[in-house]
Structure 1
Amino acid sequence: MMPKTDDLVLFAQVIELGSFSKAAEVNGLTNSVVSKRIARLEKVLGTTLIYRTTRRLTLSEAGRVLYQQAQLVAQASKDAFEAVSGFSQSLQGHIRISVPTISGELILAEAIAEFCELHPIISVDMSLDNRFVDQIKEGYDLVIRTGHLEDSNLIARRLLDSRWTICAAPNYISRHGKPQTPEDLLQHNCLIYSYQESGARDWLFTQHGKIYPLRVSGNFSTDNAAALRKAALAGHGVAYVPRCLVYPDLQAGSLVELLPHQVGKVLGIYAVYPYSRQPPRKIKLLIEHIRSRYMDIKHYF
């Protein structure tokens, strides 16, 4: 016996909403009916999907696998109904989005608030977080991330490239000299941005078209980009950061760019969303809006 499609959709809703009672309320059902339908789904599949306690629901391993697929079924059903009803031509509902702190503070907070003003019956909940969130498990509709995509259950659209830069304050350079080669940095106090995918002390450089790491050292590290920028501005050392973070400082002369033609770190900025044949129109329009705002200040990157 095959599972019923509406039971799969209901299962996805239970997990997304976090309780049987909320799923029951959304669908105009009683708690007992929701419980019976999830039990029927488990019986058909021959495995436990959800461990129930008085305070929370926990997915089994089989439940986690099914949840990913059930979300696709739910989205496909929604797309089909929207295509027939014409709902897809209107923009309404709620979007949960996670964005990196630098881009969030630099441009995305204003850009997303502007999007909400343009589409007043859409609400957006924006979280600023550098970590690679579990988009499906944590229920994000859209994630903006800098780095590399590995999860095959997600689709990533490249928005633009983010180049990194090495910089220091003029007073630091006057006291310690200006590095002429990457290896000169071994004699300098390098400020470490510890929140990176790997190798926070392994700064990347390019030589003869190839990228190579150089391990630097320093007496200050932080996982907060704004704190690192302030330490560099105060003349405490040399920083290796996304160029967009310090672009105004470089233009004002508060920071000086070092070894600009030898820096080897460039990362893509992506809009990431769960796999489906046709993402909701509101998500597609939000991605386009975000991309256009990035393009407005692409010289920062």
Structure 2
Amino acid sequence: MAKTDDLILFAQVVEYGSFSKVAEVNSLTNSVVSKRIARLEADLGVQLLYRTTRKLTLSEAGKVLYQGAKSVKQASAEAIDAVYGYAESVTGHLKMSVPTISGDLLLANAVAEFCSLHPGLTIDMSLKNSFVDLVEDGYDLVIRTGYLGDSNLIARHIIDSQWVICAAPSYIKKHGKPLQPEELINHNCLQYAYQTTGASEWEFKGDNGNYIVKVAGNFSTNNAGALRKAALGGFGLAYVPRCLVYQDFLNGDLVDIFPDRVGKKLGIYAVYPFTRQPPLKIRLLIEHIRKHYLAIGQCF
């Protein structure tokens, strides 16, 4: 059976009238083009071209085949053009997943704004902290915080998220303010269960590198918003991303206990499945999100 690429090559030979020109266009040698046309003739059992030193002439069978081969060539070109057009258009649908904190504080507004800028685009954004399987679950883009270990994914660093330890003024008034990280063992440390190093392992900067202080407390949750509310209520100290409580610091509702001493800092990444060139809409959305993060970079 004749191969599609040989039919396309045959159509090119007819249109250019030259083996050498077709070879040049396709980055092939003259002998390869000649062999592939000979293979096509052998597969079909007919002679398609009469070759002389001066020109190429189509046989009757060649004329018939050329009409079909021309249609195959055109359909192939149109299909490729359609894909290129799709890749470079900002239309269609995207499915993405983002962390709950960033989703609530920043990304809901940023992504909704991006949709308004591109009326032909719709986006389904899930807010979840668990790591999703981009390929298995059909996600086009995921915003992740922390360590990335999947080599089948491409990750673009956006910004680093600094963590802080905070408490309400009412808690400090009642229990005192710890002056050294080691004093945390005497305090009620509210614990954020969703973090890679463990809810009770709080990281600090030391003279010889970062170190861990083991803490304990009477309340633990996997929801950062709930942890913030517990801290605002004066029930203990919380170890959270600064972006979550930045406005509370400005308002005086929470106090930064150890400014510049907390060692935990996690990268925020835009992640998408491995591809040589992501579609334009993915690239533009990542840049749009990055600009929103950077605009409030002091919060992080």
**TM-score per shorter chain, which class?**
0.7 to 0.9
Q: Which has the larger radius of gyration?
A: 2
| Counterpart residue number, 1:265 | 264
Normalising by structure 1, we get a TM-score of 0.72
Residues 210 and 81 of structure 1, relative CA distance in 2, 3 Å threshold: same
Residues 147 and 177 of structure 1, relative CA distance in 2, 3 Å threshold: same
Unaligned runs of 5+ in 2: 1-75
Report how many residues are paired: 224
| Counterpart residue number, 1:19 | none
Alignment of 1:45-64 (within 5 A): none
Contact 1:204 1:212 in 2 (8 A): yes
* TM-superposed deviation, 1:199: 1.5
* TM-superposed deviation, 1:261: 2.3
Contact 2:88 2:281 in 1 (8 A): no
In the aligned structure 1, how far is the partner of 2:183 from the partner of 2:274? 46
SS of 1:185's partner is: helix
Tell me which amino acid in the other structure corresponds to 1:241. Answer: V
Tell me which amino acid in the other structure corresponds to 2:131. Answer: F
Residues 224 and 93 of structure 1, relative CA distance in 2, 3 Å threshold: same
In the aligned structure 1, how far is the partner of 2:196 from the partner of 2:80? 41
Tell me which amino acid in the other structure corresponds to 1:118. Answer: L
Alignment of 1:124-163 (within 5 A): 124-163=123-162
Contact 1:172 1:237 in 2 (8 A): yes
Does structure 1 residue 215 correspond to structure 2 residue 206? Answer: no
Contact 2:144 2:270 in 1 (8 A): yes
Residues 169 and 82 of structure 1, relative CA distance in 2, 3 Å threshold: farther
In the aligned structure 2, how far is the partner of 1:245 from the partner of 1:121? 33
In the aligned structure 2, how far is the partner of 1:119 from the partner of 1:238? 43
**Percent of aligned pairs with the same residue?**
62
| Counterpart residue number, 1:115 | 114
Offset from partner CA, 1:45-72 (integer Å, 9 cap, x none): xxxxxxxxxxxxxxxxxxxxxxxxxxxx
Offset from partner CA, 1:130-162 (integer Å, 9 cap, x none): 011111111100000110110110010000000
SS of 1:290's partner is: helix
In the aligned structure 2, how far is the partner of 1:120 from the partner of 1:281? 15
| Counterpart residue number, 1:100 | 99
Alignment of 1:234-273 (within 5 A): 234-273=233-272
Offset from partner CA, 1:210-252 (integer Å, 9 cap, x none): 0111110000000000100000000000000000000000011
After TM superposition, which residue ranges in structure 1, 4 or more long, deviate above 4 angstroms? Answer: 82-85
In the aligned structure 2, how far is the partner of 1:82 from the partner of 1:213? 56
In the aligned structure 1, how far is the partner of 2:83 from the partner of 2:217? 61
| Counterpart residue number, 1:191 | 190
Contact 1:82 1:88 in 2 (8 A): no
SS of 2:231's partner is: helix
* TM-superposed deviation, 1:85: 5.0
Normalising by structure 2, we get a TM-score of 0.72
Unaligned runs of 5+ in 1: 1-76
In the aligned structure 2, how far is the partner of 1:84 from the partner of 1:188? 60
Contact 2:88 2:279 in 1 (8 A): no
Residues 186 and 276 of structure 1, relative CA distance in 2, 3 Å threshold: same
Tell me which amino acid in the other structure corresponds to 1:186. Answer: I
